[in-house]
Chains A and B, each alone.
Chain A
């Protein structure tokens, strides 16, 4: 899009009006065609995932019927739209097809979606109809292993170089002292017996100094690192892949971690949340999953584990045994004297989950991305700009009371207001 506009500007400068008109019309048309298609495809999938997927699959009968071919089964587009928006009304109107369907599916009422617009419904239907048939050729989007280039580690090379240089230095010093002794002998200056290098005070001092600096560095580093566990990646009771859920299937983070919106803790979803989808989705057909150690994971088997916890029998579709709790291993741990609030960050601060949790959609097994140290928090607070209200009234009205900052912004004394400016680095913002 930027490219198009750029071209436009360039054209404006170089062509006469008529030429500009023609070209701009052409460009805009192309642009809208392109964008329109794009938006429809995107919306359809996203809408389906967010609104329909918990009960429907395009090609498989789950809580509701398989949807592929629905436009053929219900040729009346208006009726279909009405059904999707408010199925109760259609049922009440006595439509035979839908009433039969309703009875067939055990009179489980479908949710209503009055908020969906016609283009949105069309987008969803389009997505359903273009959904690939199952078969050997059908595969999900290719999310191959990240092509991040491994940063080559030169420290070994440097180490060896240092060692060689040190040995050379030692040899040269030895040679030097021997030569000195020879020259002294030659010139008749009496000299004491040569001291072996391991008793030489200079060497010992030097060695101690090196040991102190190196040892001290590591001790300090280790002490600072006490209680921190960046890259912590424990094995969980169920191989739950974030790469599959929010990644491939684009499930919103808040669908499961809804606590992040309201509460200080994001929380791990209760099992009934899992079963919203997994009552229907009982096998895994995506690309193979691997643990960090390279072992392949049976995705379907992991779903079975969930069933054993919830006491769900996928054959009968009923809960036959009482549920058991899953004891997950907590990865992100803060000390007790730190108060952290998820909702503060994502709602007031509008921070993305990934900012602190890393590229979670690429993680099969979650690992701690950030250091979660105080320095790390403070750095972010120093640089992050808050949603400060501007003269037009955009932004968070809470900050409208900071009159001095408003003046400073107006006079240009400040260019933006950071979290630090409103006290975000003070002790009792996080410690109380």
Chain B
């Protein structure tokens, strides 16, 4: 194992002054009253006597508030109870998450009529039960306070309610009557079979009308390139599990590219280590920023955004394509050659993907894949991906038509080009020239507020429908809650307005009943949520390789186009998507806004990621210098720069990230939502979206055909401004204890598989060895676990850092959103965090390696937190759980001080509105809560709370409970059936949400359980974090194994 130094902040890297100070005094917090101003107690604004008065009064008030009188509570039973519905028992319904073109099969947990949690559908062949942070968080969108609650129409510049659907239909008919222009339906990619049918039926009634699919993150480049190379405008299936060598040219396929849940699962399956025959895939990443996928790579090479095409071309040349390699830096060339050699060595087991939206680059990538034999193996065409079908030129021509007054009616459904199209000005201008503009969006977003009529669509959990993310795989949708508001699916409107009296619900039912062979088949499809290989779907593509030999000319044309591309300036900008925010469709979602970015660990904003060298050059702070890094890092204020590119400018704070290439700014898309009148943002788009980051869509470069998410010539200037960025994980330290992360290279592991085990043996030898360490390593008595002993195992090799588990934990455990102001004060409440560590040379971005470590309460059997609690509010159970009794906690925070893992979270404020004091959230100075936190306390938003988990009040400590409510439920189910608990009975939320199955959980007393087997099978990589402290964690980690090509690099 290499002696790498891992660090999570520059301060830790340099052991800077402020870092050491914080480490010594980590839990400094001013106690109220904080208005002493350095004077004595007598001279303070609230002297001692006042204090005593307040104390007396508040004691009396608390007694009264706690109410000597019990409130009268009521029970209101149903008049007629729905059959099979038992209050207090959760029902699970299979349905489908839809956002833009994305479709993920999910199972909704419904408690007493309210959906409260989404899980992945294990029957789905694509996701196999995996989820993403966005899927997990989408349940909160259902209860979004900014949802439009009824149809509206624009009258004299304001929106007025339309009282009924009939009235709305009449308004539309009147408005469309006698008009001559074309009718256009603008939607995101629609993969639904029935919706497509409805659209086709409807549009056939209107001559010349058309349907345009618009994707904010367009895949036009790939679709067109595939049309040229393979004669098919489609996206194939990628099989990362089939590839021994994966080369990604800037594709963030583990985080945001195309179908990340599916790809993450495949990718991780190729990286599971079998200790008897260790082997895994090798992943090269060439990219112009540090992406989530890049941070998982074995070999990573950074380049400028303008070199994207050149890198692809050079790779083609290196694998034997008849093109001339363009001029690149020696280092990059070496990397490309290395990758090419590896690809060729694994011909037929290799895969190259590119995140570029350029037709030329994708054409070149197709040529590479042809040469390395991935066609038919790791790229298959038997089922094509249908989640991105939009072609940008369709939209461009629509905008032109609109501006020329040729469009009579524009029906917009769930797309927001005013916000997310780079040239939205033209669209806005065109929109004003369309007589009838109707939006079906669920909220008054930037585009919708410019429409004349708005008929809100229901949330996907409130409606029927289907989606076909891949040909042959249909995911069914069914409503799991009655529509909360007066909404109607847009398919209903289309049917009605084209004179069809059938409702979409009936249409859907009839369609699928006949396709699935009757009612039984239909019901089974709804129950499973997934149908495969139905005859209804498009004819299956041919499995054989349709790559034509005549492609040479296309490739050489693409090559020359790439070669003639303009060289970039000294500074360039790349726009990327975050796992949390994507393109911004869920930007009023506090769970996603507070989910730390995996790389920067920042929340609530976007910012420009820059290289450490940028800070050195521009601000003269050497981040690798022990004395200087604090000036940049020890405070949340970040320097703000003004970026200018493509006739657009923006001020944005900078965040230094190791691994960023020189001269590149990377800014996340999806932030900076704003209504035309910024005052309306809170009402129209949502309270949480107000002030969250800046919109960088306008910076994108279009070549007329496709949009590239980069600007190759950027000017910037420094400003005097500073802006607070709320980063987590710059606080909390392991106090110099280093054995938190264990990592080794595959070759080392093969050579010396028992290295970690031997280290542990050596370390624990004097305390009775590994076997007897628990009993002999301590003076305390050992308590046995007579029945169940819960244990968890986390495979660092499978964890890609996507954050699905973190949001799953939010949803399951009613975790408070604290808002940006409180995250800045390190008051974040995440029970589960994914620690990110860097290692490598700060000056060389390619040497930087990143490791993710999910960190949660370790449920130590000899827990240091338990010993110091003065009221025994935290103590140990006979099942190995470190229990936390909130109602017993008096908030001394001793436990948090004594926890070596820093996983305990204190409720500094009344985040959930759980206290009985009415004005508890009215802090005005320090501790003022963001509006978004109060939004989470709205009656509507609170419907998402899990009724089985206590909502914590101010002043108590909390932490991961291993989802004890699920453990109790699983045990109860087994008891009722009078049988032994088995593996399937209990899954923690993080385990269930994980797309890569990195987390295993179970009863370690049961020798037959999966976790015991997994521990036995992986004993060489197994370790406990900080095992030497004899805290006896119940969580084991499996060391990360990387598979770089050469040893010299590390």
Which A positions have Cβ atoms within 8 angstroms of B? 222, 226-227, 229, 232, 234, 258-259, 262-265, 267-273, 309-310, 323-330, 333, 335-337, 339, 341, 343-344, 347-348, 396-405, 421-423, 426-429, 431-432
Contacts and interface: CB of A to CB of B under 8 A. Distances in A.
A404 B789 CA distance: 14
Nearest to A256: B77
Interface in B866-900: 873, 875, 877-879, 881, 883-888
B53 interface: no
B886 A337 contact: yes
A262 B77 contact: no
A348 B975 contact: yes
Contact of B950 (A326, A404, A432): A432
30 contacts: A226-B67, A226-B68, A227-B70, A232-B70, A267-B86, A268-B77, A269-B77, A270-B81, A271-B79, A273-B81, A325-B76, A333-B70, A339-B948, A347-B976, A348-B972, A348-B976, A398-B974, A401-B980, A402-B786, A402-B787, A404-B784, A404-B786, A405-B786, A426-B883, A427-B877, A429-B968, A431-B885, A431-B886, A432-B964, A432-B968
A422 to B, nearest CB: 6
B73 interface: yes
A271 B978 contact: no
Contacts of A226: 66-68
A421 B784 CA distance: 12
B887 A337 contact: yes
A273 B76 CA distance: 14
A428 to B, nearest CB: 4
Contacts of A402: 786-787
A258 B89 CA distance: 12
Contact of B79 (A232, A263, A324, A343): A324
Contact of B78 (A232, A271, A348): A271
Query: A309, A324, A333 — which one has the most chain B CB atoms within 10 A of its CB?
Result: A333
B79 A323 contact: yes
B73 A329 contact: yes
A263 B86 contact: yes
B880 to A, nearest CB: 10
Given A428-B877, A428-B884, A343 B978 contact: no
Given A269-B77, A271-B78, A428-B885, A263 B88 contact: yes
Contacts of A428: 877, 881, 883-885, 961, 964
Given A328-B76, A426-B877, A426-B883, A401 B788 contact: yes
B980 A398 contact: yes
Nearest to B788: A401
Contacts of B873: 427
B89 A432 contact: no
A32 B372 CA distance: 90
Given A263-B87, A325-B77, A426-B883, A339 B965 contact: yes
Contacts, number: 159
A262 B79 contact: no
B950 A431 contact: yes
A403 B784 CA distance: 11
B1006 interface: yes
Contacts of A431: 885-887, 950
A399 B883 CA distance: 22
Given A343-B972, A426-B878, 12 more contacts: A226-B66, A227-B66, A232-B70, A264-B948, A268-B75, A328-B76, A329-B73, A398-B981, A423-B879, A427-B885, A428-B877, A432-B950
Given A263-B89, A428-B885, A328 B74 contact: yes
A270 B80 contact: yes
Contacts of A335: 887
Interface string B753-789: 0000000000000000000000000000000101110
Contacts of B74: 327-330
Contacts of B76: 325-328
Contacts of B886: 337, 431
Contacts of B679: none
Contacts of A227: 66-67, 70
Interface string B56-95: 0000000000111010111111111100001111000000
Contacts of A309: 79
A326 B89 contact: no
Contact of B787 (A328, A347, A396, A401): A401
B388 to A, nearest CB: 43
A338 to B, nearest CB: 9
Contacts of B877: 423, 426-429
Contact of B75 (A222, A264, A330): A330
* Nearest 3 pairs of A and B residues by beta carbon: A263-B88, A323-B79, A270-B81
B979 A397 contact: yes
Chain B facing A: main interface SS: loop
A326 B79 CA distance: 8
A272 B77 CA distance: 10
B885 A333 contact: no
A267 B87 contact: yes
B975 A398 contact: yes
B786 A403 contact: yes
B372 to A, nearest CB: 53
A432 B77 contact: no
A101 B784 CA distance: 69
B940 interface: no
Given A259-B86, A397-B979, A337 B950 contact: yes
B868 to A, nearest CB: 17
Contacts of A232: 70
Of B68, B81, B948, which is in contact with the most chain A CB atoms at under 10 Å from its CB?
B81
B1028 to A, nearest CB: 28
B1005 interface: yes
Contact of A432 (B68, B961, B972, B1005): B961
A271 B66 CA distance: 35
Contacts of A258: 86
B972 A341 contact: yes
B484 interface: no
B971 interface: yes
Contacts of A341: 972
B429 interface: no
B193 interface: no
B75 A323 contact: no
A349 to B, nearest CB: 9
Contacts of B788: 401
Contacts of B715: none
Contacts of A234: 72
A347 B78 CA distance: 25
A273 B884 CA distance: 41
A272 B81 contact: yes
Given A229-B70, A401-B788, A428-B885, A323 B80 contact: yes
A259 B87 CA distance: 7
Interface in B938-979: 948-951, 961, 964-965, 968, 971-972, 974-976, 978-979
A427 B888 contact: yes
Interface in B308-330: none
A304 B981 CA distance: 50
Contacts of A397: 978-980
Interface string B498-519: 0000000000000000000000
A262 B976 CA distance: 10
A417 to B, nearest CB: 10
A398 B978 contact: yes
Contact of A396 (B68, B975, B1005): B975
A268 B89 CA distance: 15
A291 B1014 CA distance: 65
Nearest to A420: B878
A401 B1005 contact: yes
A398 B979 contact: yes
A269 B78 CA distance: 8
A329 B787 contact: no
B872 to A, nearest CB: 9
Nearest to B72: A329
A260 B402 CA distance: 63
